[in-house]
Amino acid sequence: MRNGIGVTVVLGVMAVLGIAGRAGAADDAAAVDLLAYDWSHLDGAVVAADGVRVSGLGRAIVPPADMADTPPTANPPINLRGPVLTLAGDFALTARLRLGTDGPPQARLTLYGRLPVIQDEWRQPGEAVTLAVKGDMLRLVVQHVSGERETYTQAWRPADSVTLALVRRGERLTLSANGEPMIAMPAPPVLASKRLWPGLDTDVGHTFTLESLRLRPLGEAARVAVTPATLVSTPPAPGGLRALAARNAPHLAIGTAVATNPLLGDPAYARVLAREFSMVTPENAMKFQFIHPRPGRYAFAEADAIVDFAEHNGMAVHGHTLAWGEALPRWLSRGDYSDGELREILADHIATVVGRYKGRVAGWDVVNEPLEPFGPELRRDSPWYRAMGADYIAFALRAAHRADPDAALYINEFACEERNAKSDALYRLARGLLADGVPLDGIGFQLHEDLTDDYRPVTAAAFRDNVRRFIDLGLAVRISEMDVNLHDDASTARLQQQAAYYASMLALARDIPAFTAFSTWGFTDRYSSLQDWWNPDGLGNGLIFDPALRAKPAYDALRRVLAR
Ligand code: XIL
């Protein structure tokens, strides 16, 4: 019998593989101990001698300002660097919980089969099953990809500890508490996913400890396998973008925004990333609402994963972003803080985040989008502006410089690529900061563009004409977030036009040594902020790899630019 053995296999990286199969039903020796895997990269959790202690972070996606009445969407942490489960046939998953004594008990354990797609304004929920204790109720919740949720609830008598067992037998899934059956339902399809990732969570103000978590197969035919998650590490593709740039345009990093869930959950995504790009920008993981979800409490796991991945693969990291008026948690945007307290909060935030990645993050978008969307005025609708007026910009740059004197500090802005009232204002802002001796190293030009019949994107010539004056101030410049939205028209003609457009901008950056990076805002249409939030199939088609990670004409056009 191969019961609960640990085998060491070598797959480029050392991995410990827990396999259990063909166990006698009651034979706990057949169980895999899931707490023996890594739980140290789970936000809100601390690994202690008595188990994994969880306290609620309230991590949530806050809707943008024009949807102020919409409540935030919970975005609980997932253990993407811990055990990955595969279940074939019947199984029992047993969790012993010590429940907090701070109010009615609350604990949630979720198994995700399909990871949520996270944007900072919305979230496709993925597919998961959750066991929850909430006061005097036990719950089983099935989250379907469609967004629908099924919830099964049963009253219980709360106790300080409880052993919950999730058992699948054939078509049936049951939840029992301390051996007593509580809920039964048809087994949801998510449990047949190739890989399942666990997550732990509770509400803000609550704590619990997961004292044990064991998985065992039930019956002859059943198999459960548990593997530790690993970070992909792949060398650059010899003829790929990153290798060509290293050879022919060494001043230029080839960058992209990166989303954490596909990075850790979709190896094909991670491989293309490492093969083709030399720099990553965390798309959302370093934004305030995610990395600083409670006053004074930081959640670094996702940003850490991106930085670790970049290091494994010899890539640089560009940090995004420190002082911005969006993606702010409600404790901050709706908190009743004095101007002095807000200064303190920003100073602490920058010192903590930049300090943590000192020497590992090459540059920062210290200030993001300081100007009104289409005008020359500074945006006033941020706590930072309210507390400090225009001075918040210098304040943030100085704080970042103190935390990491070697990091290159940027202001990042959109709709400033050509000469217009907004780029004039950005130019005056930069010139003024430099005149005051503020540590500003460069400007990021986002370059979010559309290609449709009734929209004329900025031309490379107009961009070249405008960027010159910033370079003449002694500043570095970067293309920071390029995408070329085709909406739903992915016709051959459009894809060719998109390719030519991408190429024109890269050629500009290739020929001007002050450009430090050419960075796109994601690389595959599968995970792109241009997707419709209400429809995973509404793609936008704005990036250089298609949803199946096949190179689009734009990719080939970029290669040709770099091959010269
Ligand atoms: C976008 C993210 O890509 C999305 O996931 C999110 O829903 C909205 O924000 N300018 C920026 C980026 O500086 O942070 C924005 O990122 C895109 C526009």
- Of all protein residues, the one whose alpha carbon is nearest to atom 9 of ligand 1 is 120
Phi, psi of 251 (to 5 degrees): -75, -10
With 90 as the cut, is the pLDDT of residue 65 above it? no
Pair of tokens at residue 118: 């996270």
Nearest 10 degrees: CA dihedral of 494, 497, 499, 501?
Answer: -130
Binning pLDDT at 50, 70 and 90, where does residue 68 land?
confident
Q: Are 213 and 51 in contact (CB under 8 A)?
A: no
Pair of tokens at residue 133: 């204790």
Q: Are 520 and 528 in contact (CB under 8 A)?
A: no
At 166 the pLDDT is 98
| 348-357: average pLDDT | 98
CA distances from 180 to 28, 163, 165, 177 (A): 18, 10, 9, 5
| 308-334: average pLDDT | 97
Q: Is the CB of 261 under 6 A from ligand 1?
A: no
Q: Are 280 and 262 in contact (CB under 8 A)?
A: no
Distance 116 CA to ligand 1 centre (A): 17
With 90 as the cut, is the pLDDT of residue 537 above it? no
Q: 3-class DSSP state for residue 316?
A: strand
With 80 as the cut, is the pLDDT of residue 445 above it? yes
Q: Are 558 and 506 in contact (CB under 8 A)?
A: yes
| Peptide linkage before 207 cis (omega within 30 of 0) | no
How many angstroms separate the CA atoms of 42 and 38, rounded?
9
How many angstroms separate the CA atoms of 147 and 125, rounded?
6
What's the whole-number average pLDDT of the chain?
Answer: 93
Residue with the bigger pLDDT between 531 and 403: it is 403
How many angstroms separate the CA atoms of 377 and 45, rounded?
43
Pair of tokens at residue 211: 């004292």
At 542 the pLDDT is 98
| Helix, strand counts (H, E) of the chain | 13, 30
| 288-307: average pLDDT | 97
In one-letter notation, the amino acid at residue 521 is W
- Of all protein residues, the one whose alpha carbon is nearest to atom 4 of ligand 1 is 119
Q: Is the CB of 281 under 6 A from ligand 1?
A: no
- The atom of ligand 1 lying closest to the CA of 283 is 3
Phi, psi of 366 (to 5 degrees): -65, -45
Contacts of 86 (CB under 8 A, 6+ apart): 194, 195, 196, 223, 224, 225, 226, 227
Q: 3-class DSSP state for residue 13?
A: strand
How many angstroms separate the CA atoms of 150 and 212, rounded?
27
Binning pLDDT at 50, 70 and 90, where does residue 348 land?
very high
Q: Are 254 and 245 in contact (CB under 8 A)?
A: yes
Q: What residues pair up with 92 in beta bridges, in sequence order?
A: 167, 216
Residue 338 CA, distance from chain mean position: 31
Alpha-helix runs per DSSP H in 436-491: 460-472
Contacts of 132 (CB under 8 A, 6+ apart): 106, 107, 108, 109, 138, 139, 140, 141
Binning pLDDT at 50, 70 and 90, where does residue 7 land?
very low
Q: Are 364 and 324 in contact (CB under 8 A)?
A: no
User: Among 45-49, 102-106, 225-229, whose mean pLDDT is lowest?
Assistant: 102-106
- The atom of ligand 1 lying closest to the CA of 257 is 3
User: Per-residue pLDDT tens for 11-54?
Assistant: 222 234 556 554 444 456 689 999 999 999 999 999 999 999 99
With 60 as the cut, is the pLDDT of residue 9 above it? no
Q: 3-class DSSP state for residue 5?
A: strand
How many angstroms separate the CA atoms of 557 and 541, rounded?
16
Contacts of 477 (CB under 8 A, 6+ apart): 442, 443, 444, 445, 467, 470, 471, 512, 514, 515, 516
Establish whether 150 is a catalytic residue: no
Pair of tokens at residue 475: 């500043």
At 135 the pLDDT is 95
- The atom of ligand 1 lying closest to the CA of 480 is 13
Q: Is the CB of 227 under 6 A from ligand 1?
A: no
Q: Is the CB of 417 under 6 A from ligand 1?
A: no
CA-nearest of 79, 89, 88 to 34 is 79
CA distances from 506 to 181, 394, 499, 520 (A): 62, 31, 11, 11
Q: How many C-beta neighbours within 10 Å does residue 452 have?
A: 12
Handedness of CA 305, 306, 311, 312 (dihedral sign): positive
Pair of tokens at residue 15: 């991995």
Instruction: Give the H or E element holding residue 395.
Output: helix 391-403
Instruction: Give the H or E element holding residue 403.
Output: helix 391-403
User: Per-residue pLDDT tens for 240-271?
Assistant: 999 999 999 999 999 999 999 999 999 999 99
- Active-site residue (options: 276, 326, 369, 413): 369
| Neighbour-count burial of 220, counting CB atoms closer than 10 A to its CB (0-12 exposed, 13-18 middle, 19+ buried) | exposed
Distance 119 CA to ligand 1 centre (A): 7
Greatest C-alpha distance within the chain:
76
Q: DSSP class of residue 135? A: T
Q: Are 18 and 32 in contact (CB under 8 A)?
A: yes
Pair of tokens at residue 243: 């290798």
User: Per-residue pLDDT tens for 374-388?
Assistant: 899 999 999 999 999
At 11 the pLDDT is 27
With 60 as the cut, is the pLDDT of residue 131 above it? yes
Establish whether 211 is a catalytic residue: no
